[in-house]
Structure 1
Amino acid sequence: MSRVSQAEAQANRASAVVAASRLFRERGVPNVSVVDIMRSVGLTQGGFYKQFASKGALVDEAVRRGFVDMMRYLTDLQEGSDDRSTAWLALLDSYLSTEHRDDPGGGCPAAGFVGDLAKDPAHRDAYAAGVREMAAWIAPGDAGLAALATLVGGILLARATAGSAVSDEVLHAVRDTASRVAD
């Protein structure tokens, strides 16, 4: 059996974190096993324990990874827009879309992890830091937190009512109301 190089080990670890972040948001932390994560990236369960102390340690990394990816997306929106208002409206268009509603694994970590982390306080620090950073991108202070809470609540309601007219109505109503923040 050949040994894995340090570079390969780091790449495997990064792949596992990305996969875990997606799977946890998609199915929920309790519903994803170490075997599920490692199988999704073509590695063995034994390889997991060479990289991570526990599934809990991976949860923290997966939460942080989700927010790093989200902040990269927000930065790209900002850089691709003429002004802050245009970036905010672009975020609303993507965030409050049926595509985002139907893809929790690839979507917002604030929405994707909220249910599991509300039940498991062990991982709240990583989540709280991500929420604070994301809210600060939206707007300073309470306004950013309130706007983020509105977006997360809206996408969660839309997901919970997917397949009914209410889902699309929620997406439209939240987008219409939140777009006024840019005015």
Structure 2
Amino acid sequence: MRVSKEQAAQNRERILDAAALLLRERGIAGVGVDALAEAAGMTHGSLYSQFGSKERLVEEAVGHAISAKAKELPEDFALDDYVSEYLSPAHRDAPASGCPFAALACEVSRQTSGVRERFTVGVRGVIALLRSRMPSASKPRQRDDRAIVTAASMVGALVLARAVSDPKLSDDILRATRDAILK
């Protein structure tokens, strides 16, 4: 039975939404095709007919997660508010709906060039976004460097805060990094 183009597009979107969430929650290596198909409410055949391979699905799901997260930002947001929300216990405790960079960064270096390229485009986008919210520096390079350091600090702090077993240390990592960035 043939599926209409509209239904195929809806299926594709459902698969990408489910995969983006599942990959952030369990990691790329922790999710097989079975879990992806089940989460999307689809069959293996549907996934393969849409994407051809798990690698291609992961590539598109990473890009989808990054662009979906970017769309959640209000057009006019204050950098201080963004940093405070990003480095919060609520964000730390919700990896499935949180930042794809923090959820996937440790695995992306071992993925295909397509996945790495999507990730790189997203990182460049976040750096540009942060740079656009920073006060002008005397030299453009200083503003660029500050945006890079801010992005790296935020993602790194979130990764560490999620990884440690001591709740107080986790909270301290978030607080200290937030305070240092906002200083």
Instruction: State the TM-score bracket (shorter-chain normalisation).
Output: 0.7 to 0.9
The TM-score with structure 2 as length reference comes to 0.87
The alpha-carbon distance between structure 1 residues 71 and 143, as it changes in their structure 2 partners (threshold 3 A), is same
Query: What is the deviation of 1:162?
Result: 4.8
Question: Does residue 146 of the first structure (1) align with residue 137 of the second (2)?
Answer: no
- Structure 1 SS opposite 2:29: helix
How many matched pairs?
Answer: 171
Q: 2:94 aligns with which of 79, 99, 103?
A: 103
Q: Which residue does the alignment assign to 2:83?
A: 92
RMSD of aligned residue pairs (Cα, Å): 1.5
The alpha-carbon distance between structure 1 residues 93 and 60, as it changes in their structure 2 partners (threshold 3 A), is same
The TM-score with structure 1 as length reference comes to 0.87
Q: Which has the higher helix share?
A: 1
Query: What is the deviation of 1:24?
Result: 0.9
Query: What is the deviation of 1:22?
Result: 1.2
Partner Cα distance (1:71, 1:133) in 2: 9
Q: Which residue does the alignment assign to 2:135?
A: none
Q: 1:176 aligns with which of 170, 176, 179?
A: 179
Structure 2 residue identity aligned to 1:149: A
Partner Cα distance (2:72, 2:177) in 1: 21
Partner Cα distance (2:33, 2:96) in 1: 17
Partner Cα distance (1:91, 1:43) in 2: 36
2:87–2:178 CA contact under 8 A, matched in 1:
yes
In structure 2, runs of 5+ residues without a counterpart are 132-142
Q: Which residue does the alignment assign to 1:16?
A: 15
Give the percent of matched residue pairs that are identical in Structure 1 and Structure 2.
35
Q: 2:128 aligns with which of 136, 139, 150?
A: 136
Runs of at least 4 residues of structure 1 off by over 6 A?
none
